[in-house]
Amino acid sequence: MLEASLLHALALTLAVRSQGQNHWSSWGPNQTGIQRFRTYQARGIAAGTVLGNGRAMTPDADARMVGAPPMRTDADASNRIPAVLRRWPTLAGLGFAALVALGMTSGTEIAAVLAAAAVMYLGAAVLRRPRAAWPLFFATVVVITVGRMLDDRYEPTWILLGAGIVLVGYGLVRGAISPSYEVPPLQTVALLGFGAIATVALLTSPVIGSYLVALGLLGHSAWDLYHHATKAVVVRSAAEFCFVLDAGLALAIVIVTATA
């Protein structure tokens, strides 16, 4: 330890001297010994200073040599967060799926959720704002909730699909104004595909429609996994939440339909 300390001190001195004497005058009168040591350290490491055993000196090791507390990093702070709290989108998705499935009598009641998922992704892509996924999700929740409160006097699925068409129109207009902008093709196709499944599910028998909605939700859960892995279109928290919600509701629909 003593040999390593002496070698390190010698290397730091040589590194500082190589910077020129003008650096000595750049220190303020209020700098402490620890601050000056850290200045030596930064210059020494930049010059390739290593310990006698061939390993680079780290800030924590330098701090321990002079009795200062180790430097804390963002990684240290994140490690102190319980793992269960870092999975809050999963917990929220499970809770929301349980809330939506509560009292469900037919899977066709969830067709609006499938349409909402497609609209959320399309909206974030058209706006080119991944964080817009969460506000769009809450907007779809309001549409669906109001429809249910009105005793289904209007089907929220049609409102949501209409909103998707409006988003595509907005993208087309924006693309006409700005040639560098284009309507996201994948999300447009996804809206058409998942929207078609939701539409057919509402127009066919309740049993067939229920299984169609479950199939569509499973397909969208795979869509969520893809976007979570690629970190594309929506923020990862929204993709994780949507995956758990879609998969949970699909399972609930299959169980309810099979046991009805």
Domain assignment present for 77 = no
DSSP-derived secondary structure letter, 103? T
pLDDT at residue 3 greater than cutoff 70: no
Contact of 228 with 236, CB cutoff 8 Å? yes
Of 64-73, 117-126, 185-194, the poorest mean pLDDT is in 64-73
Q: Which of the listed residues 26, 50, 71 is the one where a domain comes to its end?
A: 71
**Claim to verify: residue 138 and residue 58 sit in the same structural domain:** no
Give φ, ψ of 106 to 5 degrees. -150, 145
pLDDT band at residue 6, thresholds of 50, 70 and 90? very low
Q: At what angle do helices 88-101 and 236-259 cross, to 10 degrees?
A: 30
Mean pLDDT of 219-227: 97
Q: Which domain holds residue 152?
A: 83-259
Q: What is the average per-residue pLDDT within 61-73?
A: 51
46 and 107 share one domain: no
Confidence at residue 150, expressed as pLDDT on a 0 to 100 scale: 86
Domain annotation covers residue 202: yes
Same domain, 121 and 34: no
What secondary structure does DSSP assign to 41-88, as a single string? HHHHHHTT-B-TTSPBPPHHHHHHHTTPPPPP-HHHHHHTS-HHHHTH
Cα–Cα distance for residue pair 38/47, rounded to 1 Å: 14
| Average pLDDT over the chain, rounded to an integer | 81
152 lies in the same domain as 255: yes
pLDDT band per the 50, 70, 90 thresholds, residue 54: very low
Q: How many domains does the chain have?
A: 2
130-188: pLDDT as tens digits:
999 999 999 999 999 998 888 767 899 999 999 999 999 999 999 989 888 988 999 99
Alpha carbon 160 to chain centroid, angstroms: 24
The model's pLDDT over 203-212, given as tens digits with 9 standing for 90+, comes to: 999 999 999 9
For range 105-119, the mean pLDDT: 95
Q: Could you tell me if 88 and 45 lie in one domain? A: no
Same domain, 255 and 127: yes
pLDDT in tens, 8-50: 555 555 554 555 444 444 445 555 555 554 555 555 444 444 4
